[in-house]
Amino acid sequence: MKLSDKWVTLIKWGIIIIISMLISLVILNKIYKSKHEKFLENGTLPDVVFNFAEYDENTQKYSKIGFEGPKLYQYLKEYLEDYGNKKLFLPKDYEFEDDELSIIEKYSIVEKTKEYQLFEVYSETEEFDITTQYKVFNNGDVVPYYSFYNNYLDKTWVYMSTAIVGLILTFLINFLFMFALKHFKQRKELRKEKEKKE
């Protein structure tokens, strides 16, 4: 085999591997996201916990309250009956970070309309991060809107699976490529034979 042929083979395998890895990563990421990402207006329940942010006008302090996911609507109903939704309106974005505990908290105003405001709470630890969004209405209602639970251990399995699926796809794509190439060459040879006979 010539040196140039070796390079062609290496480049071909390199392209196939990259394409395979990208395809498997896109597919597995979509599966992972669909598992943990939830829009809650249709009544579904979040994974693990749903976080809200409170603002106390008297102390001018922000705090996070987390409700257990499977009992979210029950706890939210009890909370609103006791306190109403006034504290859930945030005046501005707020960020908190604790290096010792490896915690990051971000409270953001995502959208404002005449009827409601959409808020986001992002909470990060060493093992996972959780993003939740909820709508606070001027009429007193609160609607949990969005939840995404990003577990880093689960994500590691996604990347490990990407490598495995990517390798399988590599051989599959190479097999299909070689099959198509062989078929193309056979058709080309048959065409040449026909032309000679004619």
Global pTM? Answer: 0.73
Under DSSP, is residue 151 helix (H, G, I), strand (E, B) or coil? strand
- One domain for residues 46 and 135: yes
pLDDT above 70 for 74? yes
- One domain for residues 119 and 161: no
Q: Which pLDDT score, from 0 to 100, does residue 52 have? A: 97
Query: How many residues make up the chain in this entry?
Result: 198
Q: Are 69 and 45 in contact (CB under 8 A)?
A: yes
- One domain for residues 147 and 164: no
More confident residue, 18 or 91: 91
Spatial distance between the Cα atoms of 93 and 103, rounded to a whole number of angstroms: 17
Percent of the chain with pLDDT over 90: 48
**What is the band of 82 on the pLDDT scale with cuts at 50, 70, 90?**
very high
- Mean pLDDT (the chain) is 84
Lowest mean pLDDT among 61-75, 96-110, 134-148, 171-185: 171-185
Percent of the chain with pLDDT over 70: 81
pLDDT above 70 for 195? no
| Distance, first Cα to last Cα, the chain | 36
Beta bridge partners of 171: none
**What is the band of 88 on the pLDDT scale with cuts at 50, 70, 90?**
very high
Q: Which domain holds residue 180?
A: 3-30+155-197
- One domain for residues 90 and 10: no
Choose among 92, 76, 61, 60: nearest CA to 145.
76
Highest mean pLDDT out of 21-25, 127-131, 183-187: 127-131
Spatial distance between the Cα atoms of 103 and 130, rounded to a whole number of angstroms: 12
Rg, the chain, Cα only: 27
pLDDT above 90 for 66? yes
Domain end call among 132, 151, 170: 151
What are the structure tokens assigned to 111, written together?
A: 């959208």
The total number of structural domains that make up the chain: 2
- One domain for residues 70 and 24: no
Q: Which pLDDT score, from 0 to 100, does residue 1 have? A: 46
Give kind and range of the element (H or E) at residue 67.
Answer: strand 61-68
pLDDT above 70 for 155? yes
- One domain for residues 113 and 51: yes
